[in-house]
Chains A and B, each alone.
Chain A
């Protein structure tokens, strides 16, 4: 029982990341009909928003190290600590959550720039060409990040207060040995909140209603005198923000490096296909489902029966789904079924 709960928990945070990226991919595909291979790069850019905010906050000045008296020693102290004292230290410690505030406007700008500058020229081109041009863009973006931040992963830490582990076992009435890092729980909650926010936006606002109408029948909405194109651009920016936030919050889990986006992209595409191209609930459900299945398959008991299953489970499921039910788990009938 403990092991089962632990595996589900393990799957939830990774599943949350898959779901967030897949949600953005599906938004872009459902509205603009674009297969965006640069979406993983947006995830990566979000993560590097966190890195750069941390760098900015810790711009330091050399000061005399008073604790060493034998010789003149200097240490680097961030300006924030010099100016604000303990408050400054706290701000630096909370840099990852704080970078959400910075990431939102940046990702909106990047999303709009990408859509207006590149993607809109590819509405009428084939999916293959869309894949290729966004793939090229992804390479460019990740090389730029590499030249700015270097090739090595840059570890980010979560705030002190949530860096420990939660005693989930005691909370659920199971054994005390079942512990789980706070930050991963936070990541899961955050993912659910963002997904809930996006769905609420689409479901309960007039703006979202028009977007959904446009997804269903773009021409008719256009004939009603609504500038659906502009709304779709905004939705693309929203997708970029979702990917960016997923990246920001993921930094304490896995230290970001320049190709983290590519690693996630392939899996997220598989997630989108399993969920059903163009289906938002499908993308989210498949994200969590595959995340959990992946962590289950890495249990030793299962690995003994099927060696290596944890490495290929997601792809295996994708193959089965595409062959048996090409519209995916929740795809609409008739959409991309060939």
Chain B
């Protein structure tokens, strides 16, 4: 992290423009990868927001929260309730989803941040599991238990009550539903929010506030000795990150107006940790890369089956083909989680800085190879991969 200077701020402008262009052009450049359908791109954007927010907490302060899915769930539930009570317009859903999740984060953060290290992880995990278990049992009037919270024909919706006899209403933004323009409307709403989310995270990274968070990560005691009260800063970081999760959760409800408790389970919290680590903790682009890769492979790998594999390896001699299919088969389709777990272990063992560390090492290696020639191509390739 370089200090605020003219040069770095110009770099940031370039990075921001490149990032925005990359996100907006996703339907084009994802085409060759077979990932350019709106459903998947929406997931990229939503989980990107989730991971960016998580990274503000974990990447900057080093506090590993194992309960972030709780905020995701709260955001989803709130958004669906807004659809039910107020209007099918997505703006109140997004705003209230984010705010209520932020409120939750204030409560949970205020208590959890009294401890650090593994105790903080366990505290957040405990709160998330409590919310999950309660959403399934006692809170059924609010959450609709195992069925999940859904829209209904007779919801009050004080601003735009449903016309008699029509089907279930769709979430819309001033008349544009998420499915318009072949689903691209939904993607662009998510995409633009992703760009805004990324911009805010960039500003936080570069701000004195962000520097303080990094200082807390590197030596909290020393911060204390200099007479610096760290807890309010940690709490603000925690709440911001919770609000990101809430926004991601309400976007999930916007793209598919349904909320279930399983979004709050601790495995969902684990998933965002995986994304952040895979991409690179504490980097700007890393968490996005991680989220994109995991969601991409989840969709692509889990679609493979033995027949497709036989087609892929058909250029090999018969026995080699069968052998390759035998080796690869457990890792795709149903077993794609195996790939995820193995990949994740490899990353933690060999590249603790995630993909971004790998990219940086590669760049450093190329630069050294060319001996002295100064290349400023750092921002561009990162962005274009996001």
Contact = CB atoms under 8 A, between A and B. Distances in A.
B114 interface: yes
Nearest to A267: B129
Interface in B303-359: 330, 334-335, 337-338, 340-342, 344-345, 348-349, 352
A22 to B, nearest CB: 13
Interface of A: 35, 118, 121, 125, 127-129, 131-133, 135-140, 143-144, 146-147, 262, 266, 269-270, 273, 277, 307-308, 311-312, 315-316, 318-319, 322-323, 326, 336, 338
Interface stretch (B132-140, B187-195, B292-300, B371-379): B132-140
Interface string B271-284: 00100010000000
A307 B138 contact: yes
Q: Would you call the interface of chain B mostly helix, strand, loop, or mixed?
A: helix
A59 B344 CA distance: 37
13 contacts: A128-B121, A131-B121, A132-B273, A133-B348, A133-B349, A143-B338, A266-B129, A269-B125, A311-B136, A322-B122, A322-B123, A323-B114, A326-B119
B60 to A, nearest CB: 14
Contacts of A133: 345, 348-349
Contacts of B137: 308, 311
Interface residues of B, number: 41
Contact of A129 (B126, B127, B267, B348): B348
B114 A262 contact: no
Contact of B344 (A132, A266, A269, A319): A132
A311 B337 contact: no
B299 to A, nearest CB: 18
B208 interface: no
A41 to B, nearest CB: 10
A44 B266 CA distance: 18
B122 A273 contact: yes
B130 A315 contact: yes
Given A133-B348, A147-B338, A308-B137, A127 B117 contact: yes
Given A136-B342, A308-B134, A269 B122 contact: yes
Contact of A270 (B126, B134, B345, B348): B126
Contacts of B139: 308
A35 to B, nearest CB: 6
Contact of B134 (A135, A146, A311): A311
- Tell which of B64, B117, B123, B348 has the most Cβ of chain A within 10 Å: B348
A147 B330 contact: yes
Nearest to B114: A323
Given A262-B267, A308-B138, A312-B133, A323 B115 contact: yes
A323 B273 contact: no
Closest 7 CB pairs of A and B: A139-B341, A308-B138, A311-B133, A143-B338, A136-B345, A315-B126, A136-B344
A217 to B, nearest CB: 22
B125 A131 contact: no
Nearest to A121: B349
Given A35-B118, A133-B348, A136-B348, 5 more contacts: A129-B352, A266-B266, A311-B134, A312-B130, A338-B116
A164 B142 CA distance: 42
Contacts of B130: 311-312, 315-316
- Tell which of A121, A125, A137, A143 has the most Cβ of chain B within 10 Å: A143
A326 B117 CA distance: 12
Contacts of B334: 146-147
Contacts of A139: 337-338, 340-341, 344
Contacts of B119: 273, 322, 326, 336, 338
B164 to A, nearest CB: 38
A140 B111 CA distance: 34
B156 interface: no
A316 B130 CA distance: 8
A259 to B, nearest CB: 9
A319 B115 CA distance: 11
Nearest to B344: A136
Contacts of A323: 111, 114-115, 123
B83 to A, nearest CB: 26
A77 B357 CA distance: 58
A322 B334 CA distance: 39
B122 A137 contact: no
Nearest to B273: A132
A147 B335 contact: yes
A318 B111 CA distance: 13
A136 B347 CA distance: 10
Contact of A143 (B134, B267, B335): B335
Nearest to B266: A266
- Tell which of B121, B130, B266 has the most Cβ of chain A within 10 Å: B130
Interface in B256-275: 266-267, 270, 273
A144 B118 CA distance: 28
A308 B141 CA distance: 13
Contact of A319 (B62, B117, B123, B136): B123
A319 B270 contact: no
Contacts of B348: 129, 132-133, 136
A152 to B, nearest CB: 13
B126 A128 contact: no
Contact of B115 (A262, A269, A322): A322
Nearest to B337: A143
Contacts of A140: 338, 341-342, 345
Contacts of B111: 319, 323
B341 A137 contact: yes
Contacts of A135: 270, 273, 344
A132 B270 CA distance: 9
A262 B133 CA distance: 15
B267 A312 contact: no
A330 B189 CA distance: 53
A125 B277 CA distance: 15
A146 B21 CA distance: 42
Contact of A128 (B64, B122, B330, B349): B64
